[in-house]
């Protein structure tokens, strides 16, 4: 681009050196004057004139500086102070979603940005690498009715709410009042759909039924399993996250009563440096978050003798590759 700012395919000479506070704001005003000469008010610049979706005052945005991200609201008199300089947030108002302003890139936040950079954390949260996988194992879709046991900070709640959509329902139980209050603030501020009910109660005192799926993030899930089972539809996928291997063993023991299709897994996630010429993994990674367990509610268990002649099963050619 050289010494020009490119905006909506219009080249505008840069009259400013972008070093001081307010430079970006003045620059954006200069650009807009060029595009809409008679309109100095950001709200009236209107992206519709260019067929482009524009950022508006009070929109939630993610500001990206190198590998760092910050969730911000485009408030009139506020600035973002970061390593890339001072960015008056109003300077993004009227720009298309996905704009580079000086050293910063400004985008519409993804659900991952919201969870990682918007949620006020009072508890350990479930990270996106686990959370997105959990949604697929619970077979969540638009309209699902899902139960979450252990709201914590509401990080997973936000994703559940997004995945089940406006016709779905999330009910999330939290026994600690302070966590419940914090999660409620997070959900009120950040959730997209009004489909979530946060309940401040111990799971032992909760009453409910007909859930399509459940996710349990408690330290001792095996103590509550029999009760949680009563809230679920037959066959409902149910997930658990626990940080240690002995908690996995306890949960597995408990799942023998009334659950089938049991699986245990862990998700290892590694990021790469984005240097095209020297592509390699990041030096540091999060080595462990938690073990995931999944199972499905058995509605009925009927003991029966299966009659008939069976041929002896052929040996599995791959069997030697597996160890029990």
Ligand X SMILES: C[S@@+](CC[C@H](N)C(=O)[O-])C[C@H]1O[C@@H](n2cnc3c(N)ncnc32)[C@H](O)[C@@H]1O
| HSE-up (13 A, CA, CB side) for residue 302 | 4
Please state the closest distance from residue 235 (CB atom) to ligand X, in A.
24
Is the Cβ–Cβ distance between 131 and 140 less than 8 Å?
Answer: no
- The residues, ordered by sequence, that sit 6+ positions from 214 with a Cβ below 8 Å of its Cβ are 138, 146, 147, 148, 149, 228, 231, 232, 236, 238, 239
174 binds ligand X (CB under 6 A): yes
Compute the distance between CA of residue 1 and CA of residue 11 in angstroms, rounded to an integer: 9
Closest CA to 221 of 285, 150, 284: 150
Residue from 85, 88, 150, 237 in contact with ligand X (CB under 6 A): 150
Q: Which is nearer to ligand X, 89 or 125 (CB)?
A: 125
Residue 247 interacts with ligand X (CB under 6 A)? Answer: no
When the beta carbons of 202 and 282 are compared against ligand X, the nearer one is 202
- Alpha carbon distance 57, 8 (integer Å): 19
Q: How far is the CB of 139 from ligand X (least distance, A)?
A: 19
Residue 294 bridge partners (DSSP): 239, 263
In the set 170, 218, 228, 242, which binds ligand X (CB under 6 A)?
218
Residue in the structure block whose two tokens are 């109003």: 90
Phi-psi region of 130 (alpha: psi -120 to 50; beta: other; left: phi over 0): alpha
Of 62 and 159, the one with the shorter C-beta distance to ligand X is 159
- For position 239 contacting ligand X by CB under 6 A, the verdict is no
Determine if 171 is a binding residue for ligand X (CB under 6 A): no
Q: For residue 187, state whether it binds ligand X (rule: CB under 6 A).
A: no
Segment lying near ligand X (by CB under 6 A), choices 37-45, 120-128, 254-262, 296-304: 120-128
Contact segment (CB under 6 A) with ligand X among 59-67, 87-95, 170-178, 259-267 equals: 170-178
Q: Which stretch binds ligand X (CB under 6 A): 56-64, 95-103, 119-127, 256-264?
A: 119-127
Q: Which stretch binds ligand X (CB under 6 A): 82-90, 132-140, 173-181, 272-280?
A: 173-181
217: which 2 tokens? 């993030």
C-alpha span between 251 and 243 (Å, rounded): 12
* Distance linking the first and last C-alpha atoms of the chain: 61
Closest CA relative to residue 83, chosen from 107, 61, 106, 67 = 67
Q: How buried is 322 (Cβ within 10 angstroms: 0-12 exposed, 13-18 middle, 19+ buried)? A: exposed
x/- map, 278-297, ligand X, by CB under 6 A: --------------------
Smallest gap from Cβ 214 to ligand X, in A, equals 12
Q: Which residue is nearest to ligand X (CB)?
A: 152
- C-alpha torsion 231→236→242→246, nearest 10: 100
Question: Binding of ligand X at residue 154 (CB under 6 A)?
Answer: yes
Instruction: Say whether residue 123 binds ligand X (CB under 6 A).
Output: yes
Verify binding: residue 130, ligand X, rule CB under 6 A.
Answer: no
User: What is the biggest distance separating any 2 CA atoms in the chain, rounded to whole angstroms?
Assistant: 89
Residue 202 is a binding residue for ligand X (CB under 6 A): yes
Single out the residue of 89, 101, 146, 173 in contact with ligand X (rule: CB under 6 A). Answer: 173
Q: Give yes or no for residue 63 binding ligand X (CB under 6 A).
A: no
The answer to whether residue 155 forms part of the interface with ligand X (CB under 6 A) is yes
The distance of closest approach from Cβ of residue 161 to ligand X in the complex, given in angstroms and rounded to an integer, is 12
Binding site for ligand X (CB under 6 A): 123-126, 150, 152-156, 173-176, 179, 202-203, 217-218
């Amino acid at each position: 681009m050289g010494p020009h700012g490119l905006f909506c395919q219009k080249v505008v000479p840069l009259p400013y050196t972008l070093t001081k506070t307010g430079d970006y704001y003045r620059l954006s005003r200069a650009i807009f004057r060029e595009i809409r000469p008679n309109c100095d008010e950001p709200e009236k610049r209107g992206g519709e004139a260019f067929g482009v979706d524009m950022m508006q005052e009070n929109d939630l945005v993610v500001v990206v500086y190198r590998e760092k991200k910050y969730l911000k609201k485009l408030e009139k008199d506020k600035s973002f102070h970061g390593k890339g300089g001072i960015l008056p947030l109003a300077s993004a108002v009227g720009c298309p979603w996905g704009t580079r302003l000086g050293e910063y890139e400004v985008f519409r936040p993804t659900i991952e940005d919201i969870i990682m950079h918007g949620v006020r954390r009072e508890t350990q949260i479930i990270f996106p690498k686990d959370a997105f996988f959990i949604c697929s194992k619970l077979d969540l879709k638009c309209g699902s009715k899902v139960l979450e046991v252990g709201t914590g900070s509401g990080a997973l709640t936000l994703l559940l709410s997004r995945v089940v959509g406006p016709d779905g329902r999330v009910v999330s139980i939290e026994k600690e009042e302070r966590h419940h209050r914090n999660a409620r603030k997070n959900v009120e501020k950040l959730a997209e759909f009004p489909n979530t009910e946060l309940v401040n109660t111990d799971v032992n005192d909760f009453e409910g039924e007909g859930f399509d799926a459940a996710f349990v993030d408690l330290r001792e899930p095996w103590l509550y399993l029999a009760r949680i089972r009563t809230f679920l539809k037959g066959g409902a996928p149910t997930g658990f996250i626990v940080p240690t291997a002995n908690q996995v063993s306890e949960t597995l023991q408990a799942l023998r009563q009334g659950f089938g299709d049991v699986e245990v897994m862990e998700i290892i996630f590694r990021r790469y440096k984005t240097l095209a010429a020297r592509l390699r993994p990041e030096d540091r990674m999060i080595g462990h978050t938690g073990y995931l367990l999944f199972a499905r509610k058995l509605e009925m268990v009927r003991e029966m003798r299966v009659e008939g002649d069976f041929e002896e099963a052929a040996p599995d050619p791959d069997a030697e590759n597996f160890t029990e």
